[in-house]
Amino acid sequence: MDDPITDDLLAILACPKCKAPLARQADLLVCTRLECRLRYPIRDGIPILLMDEAELPSPA
């Protein structure tokens, strides 16, 4: 099955909290803004861009 999250789709997705672009990391979409860095899951090829589902970045 083809990956439903194409580069074109990724280009228009944004973090619901800060509106910054998202980057793909395995089965997560990660906010690219350093002050935010929330991580959103991808389940069955569908990005779950809900604040309740977001994970905080792991400590460095």
Give me the CATH topology for the region 7-53.
Answer: N-terminal domain of TfIIb (2.20.25)
Q: With contact defined as beta carbons under 8 Å apart, do 19 and 11 qualify?
A: no
Global confidence as pTM: 0.88
Query: 6-19: per-residue pLDDT in tens?
Result: 999 999 999 999 99
Q: What is the pLDDT of residues 10-57, one digit of tens each?
A: 999 999 999 999 999 999 999 999 999 999 999 999 999 999 999 998
Cβ neighbours for 11, distance < 8 A, ≥ 6 positions apart: 21
What residues does each domain of the chain span? 7-53
Per-residue three-class SS string for 2-53? CCCCCHHHHHHCECCCCCCEEEEECCEEEECCCCCCCEEEEECCEECCCHHH
